[in-house]
Structure 1
Amino acid sequence: MKMLNIFKKELKDTFRDQRTLILTVFLPLVLMSALVFFYEKMMAPEEDIQLHVVTEKEQLEFVKGLLDGKENLQLRAVDDVEATIKEGEAVAGLVLTGDFEKQIAAGNAATVQILGDEYSENSYIAMSAIEMALTQYSQAIVSERLGQQNVETSILTPFTVNKVQVIEGDQSVQMMSFLIPMMLVIAVGVGISSSAADFIAGEKERRTMEALLMTPVNRSSFLLGKWLTLVILATVTGILTLGIVFIEIYFFTEQLKSGLTMEGNVWLIGTVALLIIISFAALMASALLLTSIFGKTVKEAQSYGTPIIMVGILPALFITSVGLNELTTTHFLVPILNVFATFKELFVGIIDIEHVFLTLGVNIALALVILTVGRILFAKDKWVL
Structure 2
Amino acid sequence: MRSFFIVCFKEIIDNLRDRRSLLTSVMLIPVLMPVFMMFLIGFQLERSFDTAEELIELPVIGAEHAPNLMRFLESRNIDIVAGPADGVAATEAVWASEEDVVLLVPSDFGEELAEMIPATVELYFDQANTTGIAKISRVRDALFGYNQTVAGIRLSARGVNPALLRPLNIDHIDVSTPSGRAAILLGILSYLFLFALLMGGMYLAIDATAGERERGSLEPLLALPVARGRLILGKIAATSVFMSISLALCLMSVFATLRFIPLEQLGMTPNFSLNVVIAAFLLLCPFALTGASLMTLFASFTKSYKEAQTWLGILILVPTMPILIVSFLSLQPRFEFMFIPALSQHLILVDMISNEPISSLHVAVSVLSTLAVGAIFTWVCVRLYHREALLG
TM-score of the alignment, normalized to the shorter chain, above 0.5: yes
Cα shift at 1:45: 6.5
Does the 8 Å CA contact 1:197/1:301 hold for their aligned counterparts?
yes
CA contact (8 A) 1:172 1:256 kept: no
String of CA shifts for 1:134-182, please: whole Å, max 9, x gaps. 1111111111111111111121111122232334334323212x13212
Whether the 8 Å contact between 1:180 and 1:242 is mirrored in structure 2 is no
Give yes or no for the alignment of 1:277 onto 2:277: no
- Paired position in structure 2 for 1:253: 261
Query: Which SS does the other structure have where 1:104 is aligned?
Result: helix
The yes-or-no answer on 1:175 pairing with 2:185 is yes
CA apart distance, 1:6 = 0.4
Q: Which residue of 1 aligns with 2:13?
A: 12
Q: Counterpart of 2:350?
A: 344
Aligned to 1:367, which of 369, 374, 384? 374
Q: How many residues align?
A: 379
Superposition map of 1:298-317 within 5 A: 298-317=305-324
Q: 1:144 to 1:58 in 2, by over 3 A?
A: closer
SS in 1 for 2:135: helix
Aligned match of 1:98 in 107, 122, 125?
Answer: 107
* 1:55 is aligned to 2:60: yes
Q: Counterpart in 1 of 2:3?
A: 2
- Deviation (angstroms), 1:322: 6.0
What is the distance in 2 between the residues matched to 1:14 and 1:140? Answer: 70
Please report how far the alpha carbon of residue 62 of structure 1 lies from its aligned counterpart in structure 2 after TM superposition.
5.2
Structure 2 length-normalised TM: 0.88
Q: CA deviation at 1:5?
A: 0.4
For 2:81, the aligned partner's letter is R
Counterpart-to-counterpart distance in 2, 1:69 and 1:58: 15
Matched, 1:220 2:225: no
Q: CA RMSD in A?
A: 2.5
**CA distance in 2: counterparts of 1:91 and 1:215, whole angstroms:** 71
> CA separation of 1:275/1:82 partners in 2, compared to 1, >3 Å: closer, same or farther?
same
The alpha carbon displacement at 1:222 in A equals 0.6
- 1:1-385 to structure 2, matched below 5 A, reads 1-28=2-29, 29-44=31-46, 46-49=48-51, 53-56=58-61, 58-59=63-64, 64-68=70-74, 70-71=76-77, 75-80=80-85, 81-168=90-177, 169-176=179-186, 178-250=187-259, 252-255=260-263, 261-262=270-271, 269-320=276-327, 326-349=332-355, 350-385=357-392
How far does residue 14 in structure 1 lie from its aligned partner after superposition? 1.1
In the TM superposition, residue 74 of structure 1 has moved relative to its aligned partner by 6.0
Secondary structure at 2:124 match in 1: strand
Distance 1:367 1:130, change over 3 A: same
Cα offsets for 1:14-62 (capped at 9, x unmatched): 1122012112223202322222222334445734237654222634965
Q: CA deviation at 1:107?
A: 1.1
Change (3 A) 1:192 1:327: same
Following superposition, the deviation at residue 82 of structure 1 comes to: 2.6
SS at match of 1:94: strand
Question: Residues 182 and 353 of structure 2 are in contact (CA less than 8 Å); yes or no, is this contact kept in structure 1?
Answer: no
**CA 217–304 in structure 1, closer or farther in 2 if over 3 Å, else same:** same
Change (3 A) 1:38 1:267: closer
Determine if contact 1:338/1:359 at 8 Å carries over to the other structure.
Answer: yes
In the TM superposition, residue 365 of structure 1 has moved relative to its aligned partner by 0.9
Report the alpha carbon displacement of residue 323 of structure 1 after superposing the two structures with TM: 5.8
Looking at structure 2, the residues matched to 198 and 75 of structure 1 have their Cα atoms a distance apart, in angstroms, of: 64
Alignment gaps of 5+ in structure 2:
none
In 1: Cα distance, 2:76 partner to 2:197 partner: 44
Q: Distance in 2 between matches of 1:353 and 1:189?
A: 26
Q: What is the deviation of 1:227?
A: 0.6
State which drifts further: 128-137 or 36-45: 36-45
91 and 67 in structure 1: CA distance in 2 versus 1, 3 angstrom threshold = same
Which TM-score applies when normalising by structure 1? 0.90
> Quick one: which amino acid aligns to residue 219 of structure 1?
R
> Cα distance 1:334–1:304, how it changes in 2: closer, same or farther (>3 A)?
same
CA distance in 2, matches of 1:352, 1:269: 15
Whether contact under 8 Å (1:203, 1:209) holds in the other structure is: yes
Instruction: Quickly say closer, same or farther: Cα 1:161–1:273, change in 2 above 3 A.
Output: same
| Equivalent position SS for 2:149 | helix
Work out the CA distance in 1 between the residues paired with 2:79 and 2:96.
17
User: How far is the alpha carbon of 1:369 from its aligned partner?
Assistant: 0.9
Deviation at 1:202, TM superposition (A): 0.4
**Helix, strand or coil for the counterpart of 1:114?**
strand
**Partner-residue secondary structure (3-state), 2:319:** helix
Quote the sequence identity (%). 22
Separation in 1, partners of 2:337, 2:112:
60
Distance 2:34 2:318 in 1: 18
C-alpha offsets along residues 253-285 of structure 1, whole Å, 9 cap, x if unaligned?
21289755429xx56534421212211222211
